[in-house]
Amino acid sequence: MSAEYLTIAGPVDAELEISRSRFLARIERVEDEAAAREVIARIRAEHPRARHHCSAFVLGSDGRVQRSNDDGEPSGTAGAPMLDVLTSAGLSDVVAVVTRYFGGVLLGAGGLTRAYRAAVAEGLATVPRVRRGVRRELTVTAAYDVAPQIEAEARRRGYDVVGAEYGEHVAQCFAVPEEETGALAALAAEVSAGAAEVRPGPACYVDLAD
C-alpha cells in the first residue's frame, strides 16, 4: 500500500457566471470508479436542460486512475483542465462535475479552459482536506481490570479504538501504523504481565485525525 494521501471531507458546490454562461461545479468524495460515474449520472439527471456536464476524477492512494470528459465541449477545453486542478491540489478519491448552462456568448477555447478550471478551483477553495493512511487492525484481549489501562496508554500514543467486544474478557480493536504494531503488542504484554492476547487483523486506509 502507498503512503498517506489527501482527499476531501465531503461534497461542495460552486457557481460562476461568465459571459452569461453559468458554470455549476459539484465536487464529491468517492471510493471507486463506479461511484464516480454514479455522481456524474446523478448531476446530469438533476440538470436535464443543461448543454454540458463535463467531468474529471482521480482515484486510488497513488492517484493512478484518472479520467476526464469534455461532454461536447471542444476537445481539451473542459475535462483536462478540471483534472489538472484536482491533481495539482494533490487530491485523490474525488470527482468533479461542472454543468454549463450556455448563455449565448461563445467563449473560445481559452475562455472555456479558464472557466472550467476556475469552477473547480472555486469549489476546492472552501472544502476541508482529509489525510488518509494505512493502519493495521490489532485486537487486544485482556481482563477487565487491565483493558482500561491498555486503552488509556494506546490512546495517549495516538492509536484509535475502532471497536470492542465484552464477554469473559474485553477484546478491543486498535488501528495502528504498520511500523508500530510491535510497540502496541509490547505495551499490552507489559501492562498485563504477559496475559493479554494480541491478534493482527487486516490493513486498510482510514481517515487520520490531525
pLDDT > 90? residue 77: yes
**173 and 102 both lie in a single domain:** no
pTM of the model: 0.82
**120 and 157 both lie in a single domain:** no
Q: Provide the strand spans (E) within the chain.
A: 5-8, 12-18, 21-29, 52-59, 65-69, 94-101, 129-142, 160-166, 170-176, 197-207
Q: What is the percent of the chain with per-residue pLDDT over 70, rounded to a whole number? A: 99
- Amino acid code (one letter) for 154: A
What's the pLDDT tens digit per position in 119-164? 999 999 999 999 999 999 999 999 999 999 999 999 999 888 889 9
pLDDT > 70? residue 210: no
For 27, the grid coordinates are: 465536487
pLDDT > 70? residue 2: no
Instruction: Kindly report the CATH number assigned to the domain that includes residue 184.
Output: 3.30.70.240
**60 and 77 both lie in a single domain:** yes
**23 and 106 both lie in a single domain:** yes
**15 and 108 both lie in a single domain:** yes
Q: What is the dihedral of CA 123, 94, 36, 87, to 10 degrees?
A: 100
* Mean pLDDT computed over 51-76: 96
**122 and 141 both lie in a single domain:** no
Would you place residue 107 in the very low, low, confident or very high pLDDT band (cuts 50, 70, 90)? confident
DSSP state of 8: E
> Which residue blocks in 125-178 are alpha helix, DSSP H?
147-156
